[in-house]
Amino acid sequence: MTNIFSFHISGKTPGLKIAFIFSTLILLNIISEPSATADGVTNFLSFDYFSQADGLPNNQIQCIFQDKKGWIWLGTSQGLSRFDGYRFVSFIHNPEDTTSLSGSLVRVIFEDSKGNLLIGTENGGLNIFDREKEQFRHPFKNNPEFKSKEVSVNTIKEDSKGNLFIGTDRNLLMVDKNGHLTRAAYQAALYGSSSLTIQAICG
């Protein structure tokens, strides 16, 4: 089970509070006493523990992302949560609501160069979060690549030209800057399979 901790650093600057989110407890082992900076100012480190009791939809964290606005987004096994350093706002899958998250388990969270927040889910495909309405769009739900409810999005990357590459459990897809979706990989046939599972995209 994965736990969430916020990590606060207090320095000489008044009101300084920088929050980092860790998905494991291992880093606690390296913090044993206050440390001094180069100018002799001591930093005092402390940890806070967060769980479902604090508003998380689930304690099993799959991915963590900080967007350009500073929000911390946490993908869990039972939905998506947004953290402002003080409280959680959660978004969960509701099969009766077409504007909700399309799947329960969140595998990847990504923000593109236009500021769009994309959420990849297990057996739910791709979601784009509408920040103003606080709901989700599913732009390719009628596309053959995403028409099946069993398609999982594992990873999302953007190149220097603004093209998005989406790795699913069936293929590598590309969304160009005009929003057109095409297959970017056809190598699956070389391996005697009709699908190609993409777990990560490097670069």
**What percent of the chain is modeled with pLDDT above 90?**
54
* Beta pairing, strands 61-66 & 4-10: unpaired
- Note whether residue 46 is domain-resident: no
pTM for the model:
0.75
- Note whether residue 198 is domain-resident: yes
Dist. CA 164–CA 17, nearest whole Å? 34
- Note whether residue 27 is domain-resident: no
- 186 pLDDT band (50/70/90 cuts)? low
* Spatial contact of 18 and 36, defined as CB atoms under 8 Å apart: no
- Note whether residue 152 is domain-resident: yes
pLDDT in tens, 85-136: 889 999 999 999 999 999 999 999 999 999 999 999 999 999 999 999 999 9
What CATH number did the domain enclosing 159 receive? 2.130.10.10
- Note whether residue 168 is domain-resident: yes
The beta-strand segments (E) located in 15-146 are 18-22, 35-36, 42-50, 61-66, 72-76, 79-83, 88-91, 106-111, 117-121, 125-130, 135-137
| Sheet of strand 164-168, all strands in order from the earlier edge strand to the far edge | 153-158, 164-168, 172-175, 181-183
Amino acid at 78: Q
Residue 194's pLDDT is: 53
User: Which residue range(s) make up the domain with 106?
Assistant: 93-203
- Note whether residue 75 is domain-resident: no
- 142 pLDDT band (50/70/90 cuts)? confident
- Note whether residue 38 is domain-resident: no
Q: What is the mean pLDDT of residues 56-75?
A: 94
Q: CA quadruple 91, 95, 101, 107: dihedral positive or negative? A: positive
Give how many domains the chain has, as a whole number: 1
- Note whether residue 191 is domain-resident: yes
Q: What is the mean pLDDT of residues 42-51?
A: 76
CA angle 10, 43, 38 (to 5 degrees): 125
